[in-house]
Structure 1
């Protein structure tokens, strides 16, 4: 049989024949020919781009395939395979992207990159990952526009339902859960926990338990254990039972160090019950004396809220001033002109506070103080502006802002999740305590009253703070025990002896980690003594002399040999306080020098002083699950929250900034105004 070759040998030409090609073993084409009436399913992915032309449309009755994109037709002969169809797809003028979907053949092997089943599986996994990473609604998989876009890129792309994608999410959750469980079992030290209760808009409560630990490379890690529904009652017994069963389910009940929770009566009861349960298994250090830690960020919030009640009138005038500027486009333009006249940077931005967040109030005051001269200029040019503060009121706002700045900075430090926070507590709280005591002696009645109110609340929690947080700062080579001694004497006078209590607790706690084995030098002396006696056995006098030498040592050497690792560490000079020191790198580098002390530092430095880290999963405005997730079933919510944390942590899901919660106050399009050309004011 003659074969006609044209410029494109695979496109239908004058001859109905095709260039013969090697058939592919893994591809079968279902055709009904005169030789075979049996129909076989088309398994090649190439049929996503072609459709068979009915025989009635062909003048010669031979089977042909039609390209779905450009309409070109090709003869189809089963014994020659589908090579001509594949070549067309590579050169089809209507197919812009050749690599999408991994449909093309490898140039070397001529085989498909992925099979249809593998493609469908990976495609569904990518959908789950996108939902987790970008918080995409499940309904997106059934959106006609999204489906059309994917089908344009690959016509045979599988259609996914909401139920299918949820089932895939649950499968991924169980797969990742096994991996996380193995990780927790391999943790070299102990594991600390944070506990939170969340509420959905339909009033269902959810418990979230998060683990915090340092891995073998001294990298701080956190993993969410659960986000499960918590039916009432929410008393101490129910909460402790829920937590204990969860720890046993994960197999980490013998590795727990400290539990950080909010200051609630139910939490106090549950912690005591949980402490008793774990102590019965001898699972806690020091019989659980340091087991419970109250959320430090929550305590600071309570202290500030008490103080703000005393100065609400001054803050209200700032709110009213900002609301006035926001009231109309004309006022915005006038204010923009005012700050331009005062040569103020418009990019700083005005902020309006959120009533439920005191830190937003601080940022509002800070921004208002920055534009203080702008408000004063507006008062002169706008007779309707009646809310401008007087000089004395501005001075009062400045003092309030300075006081709140210490709380704001401490809260930001305590809320970190990518660095240790336990060693940051004592210096920050010491400074706050010192500032409050000094403000109580202020000549300003308002500031004095506010400081007294805050100090009374603060002292209540200061007297009950966990000694472990003082031990944490001692393990910081920039502070050590001297800072604890300095702080107490600065607060209570030089006769203060409180630091001795901390030192005693430090020593007893270190004994829990001390190996108790004899030092290497002592063991070596025993070995050397035996060797010497064997060598000089024939010289009785020499043996006696060498024994005398064994007992000879300088006083300094004897003192150092009797010191343990903690004492040697404390005796070393402190590091420069202003040095950019990574405390985890320090202990990683001294792990072999102070092995027992490093093990203790590993556990203490992994303790979170705040539960706020868990609040970044849904919103930062309280622990409220949004309306979209509240509509999901509890098992799907848990799979969604946990799997996202396990796969991406906080790398892909950035925390919402406060700016995103605050309404824009001065959105002004300068291009709309041709009369004035002030700098654009970016309102955050």
Structure 2
């Protein structure tokens, strides 16, 4: 073969290859059939580039074009919604080939010509808006074959068919699907914002709805009430499915409460950590709980809820208040679940709320300063109850240099909440000179002289404030419901015991104390010691161990290492051939004499690796769950235990928060609400919040 002939054949082959590549590339990036139909519709318009610039033939699908919506799975066009665009031209008959179209909205444009007969092919069409154009002719009789159509708006046409005229509606008229969605949204609004059912009878609200859409008809109060039950049943099914899908363990918090109308309720909330390592907390039960409130009635209610939601296999702990009936009630619950379902729930199954324990300890402590606190309340009531005295108080505060601007008289406390008493004392102490001057003023001397606090009274109150400040901050730290708090229990217990010891010995950083406060410290210490086993239970110790913000280098945490490995092996299937931990401490790993031991144990399994990593507390960690999410691949088995441990809360704040939210439902103004409706509304409010996330 001569070279020229070979070159010619090679060139021909190269051209064919290039042609195939071009065809394949063109085919791979071809616009879908529905997209090509829309481009032909656009070509029929006189000004398409002005109003439809995003309709580009270089796209793979039209799904991102203005006014176009597609089926997510098939990319077929289902909505064409381009009203008020000043489109000029005629409606292309090509639209009849969009066989999956459900909504065609072209009203208030400048379209001319007849309605294409091909529209009859859109058998799935439910909504057709053509009003406000310059279209000619009558509505084609063939459109009567569209059996699924619900809304037809062609107000400027004369129809030759009466049955079609009956379907002519305003474009803002709601179809059945929209009405149902609006009713569900109204129910959610009533739940979330604790509105009364007679809201729909309020003329101002009705007027607002009419202005938003004159064709929207509010449901009656009876319909809204019935819709609550329907909405609840649907949400209940969804919530049960959510509970069933939880892969890890769950914990419950429980508390009881008496409303302002003197009715008792029990609330149970459920906590778990989801797959994204987010702590979830939801109302599980909110039920009227009449007397007697004893260990049997309490345990019966808790067991009925656990079994009703079929969560017995997932439950790991219950956090409760410090009521006297709770320990025996939790024993009954634990033994019943163990016997009936062959579980291995142990004593640590019951977690006492740290905030309730602090409250009881502080209550015993403040018994010794009742006189001084009552005197402070008395003078505050006098100041706050008289406009003239308040004005004088403000003037004296400015004159004495205590305040340069607006003066706020300290607020009174709620006698059942010690943290408000602490705030009252804290705010009042800066005005002690103002109170003294006020009581000695000629204007109010007769009324206030016998209310004056002595220097010793103020000293007692100041030392009380200094003593309780740590307890106040500890309560605030443990009161969150959106972050882990069980690991704080041992730390708070140890911190408050140290505080009591320093106070009794006069070693507080504030520099002085009083004999009365030393007595108060002794009383608090005795109460804390009573709860030592509860606040230092196995679960709280493991939570502290798994918290990267704490150091695992102490001898106490090293003693838990083998227990941790045993739990991981028995409950989580950890495969480890590591022998019991050697006697040296973790700090030895960083010393010269421990170097030989490192070679034997470093990175042998997840437990050793974790102890190495957390030998030093990482104070930079602000989100413990985020830390575990980031380290879950490094500790695949240990992270499962962390998820099932850290979701246990150290307080029952989640339940108390539910009581706070119920104030709009359980009040004298809503006395007609049945207990069943209150229960449904409280659950729905919490569940809807979960579903929206």
TM-score, scaled relative to structure 1:
0.69
Aligned to 2:272: 213
Aligned to 2:633: 592
Call closer, same or farther: CA 1:578–1:229 in 2, change over 3 Å. same
Aligned to 1:306: 364
Aligned to 1:184: 243
1:127 aligned to 2:198? Answer: no
Call closer, same or farther: CA 1:226–1:327 in 2, change over 3 Å. closer
Q: What is the distance in 2 between the residues matched to 1:560 and 1:577?
A: 20
**Contact residue 198 and residue 625 of structure 1 kept, 8 A:** no
Q: What is the distance in 1 between the residues matched to 2:338 and 2:141?
A: 66
Q: 1:243-392, aligned counterparts within 5 Å?
A: 243-280=302-339, 284=343, 287-341=345-399, 342-344=401-403, 346=406, 350-379=410-439, 381=441, 382-384=443-445, 385-386=448-449, 387-392=451-456
1:456 aligned to 2:509? Answer: no
Q: What is the distance in 1 between the residues matched to 2:228 and 2:517?
A: 54
Call closer, same or farther: CA 1:26–1:476 in 2, change over 3 Å. farther
Aligned to 2:92: none
Q: What is the distance in 1 between the residues matched to 2:419 and 2:304?
A: 37
Q: What is the distance in 1 between the residues matched to 2:202 and 2:619?
A: 56
Q: 1:601-612, aligned counterparts within 5 Å?
A: 601-612=642-653
**Contact residue 206 and residue 227 of structure 1 kept, 8 A:** yes
- Secondary structure of residue in 1 paired with 2:280: strand
Q: Which has the higher contact order (CA 8 A, sep 6+)?
A: 1
**Contact residue 565 and residue 597 of structure 1 kept, 8 A:** yes
Q: What is the distance in 1 between the residues matched to 2:615 and 2:649?
A: 25
CA offsets per residue over residues 39-64 of structure 1, 9 Å max, x none? xxxx86989xxxxxxxxxxxxxxxxx
Cα shift at 1:135: 1.2
Aligned to 1:419: 483
Q: What is the distance in 2 between the residues matched to 1:275 and 1:354?
A: 36
Aligned to 2:539: 468
Cα shift at 1:461: 0.8
Q: What is the distance in 2 between the residues matched to 1:86 and 1:378?
A: 79
Q: 1:387-398, aligned counterparts within 5 Å?
A: 387-398=451-462
**Contact residue 21 and residue 81 of structure 1 kept, 8 A:** no
Call closer, same or farther: CA 1:370–1:445 in 2, change over 3 Å. same
Q: What is the distance in 1 between the residues matched to 2:533 and 2:658?
A: 33
Cα shift at 1:470: 2.1
- Secondary structure of residue in 2 paired with 1:280: helix
CA offsets per residue over residues 212-253 of structure 1, 9 Å max, x none? 010011100011112233455543333333322322222221
Cα shift at 1:598: 1.2
Q: What is the distance in 1 between the residues matched to 2:455 and 2:333?
A: 55
Aligned to 1:402: 466
CA offsets per residue over residues 469-525 of structure 1, 9 Å max, x none? 12211212232344684xxxxxxxxxxxxx7875665454444345243579xxxxx
> Which residue, out of 665, 673, 677, partners 1:636?
677
Farther-moved stretch of structure 1 (368-377 vs 158-167): 368-377
- Secondary structure of residue in 2 paired with 1:331: helix
- Secondary structure of residue in 1 paired with 2:629: helix
Aligned to 1:167: 226
Q: What is the distance in 1 between the residues matched to 2:500 and 2:241?
A: 47
Q: What is the distance in 2 between the residues matched to 1:621 and 1:140?
A: 18
Farther-moved stretch of structure 1 (592-601 vs 356-365): 592-601
Cα shift at 1:336: 1.4
**Contact residue 421 and residue 608 of structure 1 kept, 8 A:** yes
Call closer, same or farther: CA 1:302–1:624 in 2, change over 3 Å. farther
- Secondary structure of residue in 1 paired with 2:192: helix
Q: What is the distance in 2 between the residues matched to 1:202 and 1:581?
A: 41
Q: 1:638-653, aligned counterparts within 5 Å?
A: 638-648=679-689
CA offsets per residue over residues 541-567 of structure 1, 9 Å max, x none? xxxxxxxxxxxxx97444336x44223
Q: What is the distance in 1 between the residues matched to 2:412 and 2:691?
A: 27
- RMSD between superposed Cα atoms in Å: 3.9
Q: What is the distance in 2 between the residues matched to 1:575 and 1:26?
A: 80
Aligned to 1:560: 602
Cα shift at 1:447: 0.7
CA offsets per residue over residues 85-135 of structure 1, 9 Å max, x none? 999xxxxxxxxxxxxxxx974xxxxxx6x6332333233222212111211
Call closer, same or farther: CA 1:573–1:297 in 2, change over 3 Å. closer
- Secondary structure of residue in 1 paired with 2:575: coil
Q: 1:483-562, aligned counterparts within 5 Å?
A: 485=556, 505-506=563-564, 508-517=566-575, 556-560=598-602
Q: What is the distance in 2 between the residues matched to 1:163 and 1:420?
A: 43
Aligned to 2:63: none
Call closer, same or farther: CA 1:45–1:83 in 2, change over 3 Å. closer
Q: 1:194-213, aligned counterparts within 5 Å?
A: 194-200=253-259, 204-213=263-272
Count of aligned pairs: 528
**Contact residue 322 and residue 357 of structure 2 kept, 8 A:** yes
**Contact residue 551 and residue 614 of structure 2 kept, 8 A:** no
> Which residue, out of 552, 569, 572, partners 2:613?
572
Q: What is the distance in 1 between the residues matched to 2:619 and 2:390?
A: 44
Aligned to 1:224: 283
Q: What is the distance in 1 between the residues matched to 2:313 and 2:560?
A: 26
Call closer, same or farther: CA 1:283–1:350 in 2, change over 3 Å. farther
**Contact residue 142 and residue 160 of structure 1 kept, 8 A:** no
Aligned to 1:51: none
Aligned to 2:199: 140
Cα shift at 1:343: 4.6
CA offsets per residue over residues 318-364 of structure 1, 9 Å max, x none? 21222222122121111112222215254666221112211111111
Q: What is the distance in 2 between the residues matched to 1:25 and 1:457?
A: 87
**Contact residue 262 and residue 295 of structure 1 kept, 8 A:** yes
**Contact residue 200 and residue 630 of structure 1 kept, 8 A:** no
Structure 2 spans left out of the alignment, 5+ residues:
1-109, 111-133, 145-149, 507-512, 579-595
**Contact residue 174 and residue 215 of structure 2 kept, 8 A:** no
Q: What is the distance in 2 between the residues matched to 1:416 and 1:215?
A: 18
- Secondary structure of residue in 2 paired with 1:319: helix
Cα shift at 1:201: 5.6
Cα shift at 1:401: 0.9
**Contact residue 128 and residue 169 of structure 1 kept, 8 A:** yes
